[in-house]
């Protein structure tokens, strides 16, 4: 059995936390479940010789720390200009999607793919159009993200280039309707989360 499920939502809404909890709950019950993090795959991809060369040729060595790409410096360059961000995202996302697809072919059981931008990139096909939307109030989202190194204005800028959770929902449901396939789940993370109930719901569709 293999069941692919995309886990999406704007940054700071709790995607990683929910994935971790689902993984723990499944493990405690002897259920085969694993998580692929798009962000973790991206971290590896930007350090590969081919992608690093393309990025350095475009941005210059300002994005390097020694011989490796400094992700913070890269982000500063990307988010300073829309054209730069689009260029870099195309290179990085294309390579990352290739790696994710390759990894998916090797896995069985329930596979969660965590990525904020399924809807933005119109790539629901990666998980057979099955999607779990994670969301929380914008104010809480900002509070969670301010624990990172990014200043508030940088956080707001990064959130602004993603669809709102309402728009993500609309795009996901519209795509599923057009494709006539895909399971849809939704979870709000500002209160108590019933992970056991969510896993049971996923299992009903997976089996």
Residue 196: which CATH number? 3.40.50.300
Element of type H or E holding 4: strand 2-8
Question: Tens digit of pLDDT for each residue in 112-139?
Answer: 999 999 999 999 999 999 999 999 999 9
Tell me phi and psi for residue 158, to 5 degrees: -70, -40
Query: What is the share, in percent, of the chain residues with pLDDT greater than 90?
Result: 84
Q: What is the pLDDT of residue 147?
A: 67
Do 69 and 117 lie in one domain? The reply is no
Do 53 and 7 lie in one domain? The reply is no
Are 38 and 96 within 8 A, CB to CB?
yes
Do 151 and 172 lie in one domain? The reply is yes
Q: What is the DSSP string of 83-114?
A: HHHHHHHHHHHHHHHHHHHHHHTT--EEEEEE
133 compared with 143, residue with greater pLDDT: 133
The DSSP symbol for 161 reads: T
Q: What is the DSSP string of 72-84?
A: HHHHHHHTT-HHH
Bridge partners of 110, per DSSP, are 3, 33
Q: What is the pLDDT of residue 150?
A: 72
Q: What is the pLDDT of residue 155?
A: 84
Do 176 and 123 lie in one domain? The reply is yes
For 191, counting Cβ atoms within 10 Å of its Cβ (0-12 exposed, 13-18 middle, 19+ buried), the class is exposed
Is the pTM for the entire model greater than 0.85?
yes
For 128, counting Cβ atoms within 10 Å of its Cβ (0-12 exposed, 13-18 middle, 19+ buried), the class is middle
Do 138 and 162 lie in one domain? The reply is yes
Q: What is the pLDDT of residue 148?
A: 63
Cα–Cα distance list, 171 to 33, 118, 152, 163, 164 (Å): 27, 10, 28, 9, 11
Q: How many domains does the chain have?
A: 2
Average pLDDT along the chain: 94
Query: What is the share, in percent, of the chain residues with pLDDT greater than 70?
Result: 99
Last residue of a domain, one of 67, 87, 107: 107
Q: What is the pLDDT of residue 157?
A: 83
* Position 16 confidence tier, pLDDT thresholds 50, 70, 90: very high
Supply the range of the domain harboring residue 20.
1-32+110-207
Do 118 and 204 lie in one domain? The reply is yes
Question: Tens digit of pLDDT for each residue in 146-203?
Answer: 866 677 787 888 888 899 999 999 999 999 999 999 999 999 999 999 999 999 999 9
Read off the pLDDT of each residue in 141-148 and give the average, rounded to a whole number.
Answer: 82
């Amino acid at each position: 059995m293999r069941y692919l499920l995309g886990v999406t939502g704007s940054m700071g809404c709790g995607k990683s936390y929910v994935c971790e909890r689902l993984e723990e709950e499944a493990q405690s019950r002897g259920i085969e479940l694993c998580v692929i993090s798009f962000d973790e795959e991206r971290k590896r991809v930007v350090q590969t010789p081919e992608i690093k060369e393309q990025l350095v040729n475009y941005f210059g060595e300002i994005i390097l720390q020694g011989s490796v790409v400094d992700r913070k410096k890269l982000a500063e360059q990307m988010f300073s200009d829309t054209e730069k961000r689009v260029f870099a995202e195309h290179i990085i996302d294309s390579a990352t999607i290739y790696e994710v697809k390759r990894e998916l072919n090797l896995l069985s059981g329930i596979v969660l793919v965590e990525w904020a931008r399924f809807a933005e990139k119109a790539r629901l096909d990666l998980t057979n159009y099955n999607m779990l939307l994670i969301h929380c109030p914008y104010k809480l989202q900002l509070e969670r993200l301010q624990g990172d190194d990014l200043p508030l204005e940088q956080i707001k800028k990064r959130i602004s280039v993603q669809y709102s959770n309402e728009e993500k929902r609309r795009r996901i449901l519209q795509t599923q309707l057009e494709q006539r396939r895909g399971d849809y789940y939704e979870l709000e993370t500002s209160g108590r989360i019933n992970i056991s109930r969510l896993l049971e719901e996923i299992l009903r569709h997976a089996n």
